[in-house]
Amino acid sequence: MTRVPLRKGWCPSLHAPMQTHDGWLVRVTPDLEGLTSAHLSFLARKAAEEGNGRITLTMRGNLQLRGLGERAARDFAAEASDIGLGLANPEQESRRRLIFMSPLAGRDPACASDTLALAREIQTALTSPLRNWQPPEKFGIAIDGGGLIPAGALRADFMLRHDEGIWRIHHGSQVYTPGRSKLVALLLDLLTRGASSGAERALHKAPAFSGTLPLLAGAFLPGCFGVTAVLGEIKATTCAGLADAGGYVRVTPWRGLVLERPVEAPDLMTDPQDIRRLLVACPGEGGCHQALSRTRQHALFLAPVLAGRSLHVSGCAKGCASHGKSDVTLVAREAGYDLIWQGSTADMPVETGLDVKDVRMRLRRVQQAGETGRKKAAHDRGEL
């Protein structure tokens, strides 16, 4: 009998930890400005002493600690809010974490200068004790100031986009241009009138980030040093090293970090050509009770033969790590991997029942065929 993956239908948060196969999971939404050294030290200590020693960066710009005991997970929110890493009131925290902002706001001179201030203004209004509006599950509001991160890359149910010097509110097919002084008031009115429901919401209910992303690797702006976490995860020791380096650390929506000064660690990538940038994998066997394979180890095992292709390794059919398409997608089943070319976990596989060595052999053949083809083309051009 084929095991059907269980869809829990809800997301963990600071005040709503979730029990997983390897213990309890807690999720943290950083402040808009970023993580301070105190925040990073706290997370590093908690991960090392009470979790599995690692911290996960999510596609929505959040952080997750796994492997906690139930008591530690239940106490986490109060300790985090005490140091300014979230709000103590669960309802206010649920509204605070709705905001997605251009991750270079306040640092990129080409990003609208009031992007961070606008995000703060909206967040303050949403978290007012007098406001009782509750957002739907997986709801988001994006403040897109453009700049190095291209306008339109942020995606959410409501998008405030700066275009030709003017802020506009985008919601589904509707566009509103109220003027800067009335912008926040109109947004709040739209939210409380229930404009986030029905068909209009479906147009923007999606990932926090889409489209072609700029590669923020190494020094790319004054005071900005970009790194990407290998498979979206860093060790507690790496987090402690970031704390020691000082300065704010911004968490980007594509599992990256923007630092104020360089930090090197084995699980941080700064080279744009690093082949591990092509990898996406869920926690896999040992981290999720629904996973049927060691996804992360297998992704790293296959990296050398990808020949520039992107790879998604999913431990089950849900595809939690990515719902998009990859050049190569592997879906673990009880009989082995399904192999999908140029698709997602929802697409039809070209082969089934493969072990990881079978997959590596097929990728190696494709790699060799590509090398032969390139040599032949070079020969025909007289370059060899």
pLDDT tens digits for range 304-318? 999 999 999 999 999
pLDDT in tens, 33-54: 999 999 999 999 999 999 999 9
Strands 63-68 and 174-176: unpaired
What tokens does 172 get? Answer: 């589904």
pLDDT of 378 > 70? The answer is no
Q: Is the pLDDT of residue 201 over 50?
A: no
Instruction: Point out the least confidently predicted range of 146-155, 174-183, 355-364.
Output: 146-155
Q: How far apart are CA 286 and CA 296, in angstroms?
A: 11
Share of the chain above pLDDT 90, in %: 70
Per-residue confidence (pLDDT) for residue 1, from 0 to 100: 41
Contacts of 201 (CB under 8 A, 6+ apart): 136, 157, 172
Question: For the ranges 70-74, 113-117, 251-255, 270-274, which has the lowest average pLDDT?
Answer: 251-255
State whether the Cα torsion 93-97-103-107 is positive or negative: negative
Name the more confident of 300 and 207: 300
Residue 151: phi and psi, rounded to 5, are -60, 135
- CA 273-277-282 angle, to 5 degrees, is 165
Tell how strand 311-314 and strand 326-333 pair up. parallel
Beta-bridge mates of residue 249: 35
User: HEC profile for 123-135?
Assistant: HHHHCCCCCCCCC
Query: What pLDDT, on a 0 to 100 scale, did the predictor assign at position 367?
Result: 84
Domain 18-202 architecture:
2-Layer Sandwich (3.30)
Compute the distance between CA of residue 155 and CA of residue 141 in angstroms, rounded to an integer.
Answer: 8
pTM given for the model = 0.87
pLDDT of residue 374: 65
Of 86-90, 100-104, 355-359, the one with minimum mean pLDDT is 100-104
pLDDT tens for each residue of 232-249: 999 999 999 999 999 999
| DSSP assigned state of 187 | H
Coil vs helix vs strand at 218: strand
pLDDT for 377 equals 63
Residue with tokens 């710009």: 61
Here the contacts of 237-243 (C-beta below 8 Å, separation 24 or greater) are 237/44, 237/48, 237/265, 238/265, 238/267, 238/268, 239/40, 239/43, 239/44, 239/47, 239/55, 240/40, 240/41, 240/44, 240/45, 240/48, 241/265, 242/40, 243/37, 243/38, 243/40, 243/41, 243/44
Residues forming a β-bridge with 142: 100, 159
Q: How far apart are CA 18 and CA 170, in angstroms?
A: 33
pLDDT for residue 134 is more than 90: no
pLDDT at residue 251, as a whole number:
93
DSSP 8-state secondary structure symbol assigned to residue 349: P
SS (H, E, C) 2-48: CCCCCCCCCCCECCECEEECCEEEEEECCECCEECHHHHHHHHHHHH
Stretch(es) of the chain classified as CATH 3.30.413.10: 275-371
Confidence (pLDDT) at 8: 52
**CATH fold for the domain made of 275-371:** Sulfite Reductase Hemoprotein; domain 1 (3.30.413)
